[in-house]
Amino acid sequence: MAGGPFIYTKVDSLEGKPKVFGGECAGLVQWHTKVGKADTWREGIKVKGNASQISKGTAVATFVDGRYPNLPHGNHAALYLSQDGTGIWVMDQWSTKPAISKRKMLFKGLNADGSYKDPSNNGDALSVIMHE
């Protein structure tokens, strides 16, 4: 199945709403877009620096070697809102977050080994979700 990006145009309406689809981060983008199961996700363009190519409400996530790791911790999926010189605004949820809400994922850079520092909270780590 080829495709993407996957966009939820009413993303602003989600602020403060109850969590969906089990409350996990991937559940939010799966519930509101046709992105499908996380094991089908492939890495598209990096979010940082590509604001003109990414629509508000686009499903984004962290990737390792082009694939979504789908681990209990250390990866993230969200809906893109905007970006500036210090980070990326997303609409997201996770199991211990009280409700769906927006937040800024600051740019935190890389570790010495080339992996992303704190990828679940690092704007540098986000890419657009695509399918092969």
Check 25, 32, 73, 131 and give the catalytic one: 25
76 catalytically annotated: yes
Instruction: Give dist(CA 94, CA 20) in Å, integer.
Output: 10
| Candidate list 32, 73, 76, 131, residue with the active-site label | 76
Looking at residue 73, its pLDDT comes to 85
- Three-state secondary structure call for residue 1: coil
Secondary structure E strands in 53-100: 59-62, 77-83, 87-92
Closest CA to 130 of 60, 27, 41, 32: 41
Assigned token pair, 122: 């690092």
Give the model's pLDDT for residue 1. 47
Q: pLDDT digits over 27-65, tens only?
A: 999 999 999 999 999 999 999 999 999 999 999 999 999
Distance, in Å, from the CA atom of 41 to the CA atom of 36, rounded to the nearest integer, reads 8
The DSSP call for residue 100 is: -
The low-confidence residues of the chain, meaning pLDDT below 50, are 1
pLDDT at position 2 is 66
Is 25 labeled as catalytic in the residue annotation? yes
Sign for the CA dihedral angle at 32, 37, 39, 45 comes to negative
Nearest one of 20, 120, 10, 93 to 57, comparing CA atoms: 10
Instruction: Look up residue 40 and give its two tokens.
Output: 């089908």
Report pLDDT for 50. 98
Q: Are 82 and 99 in contact (CB under 8 A)?
A: no
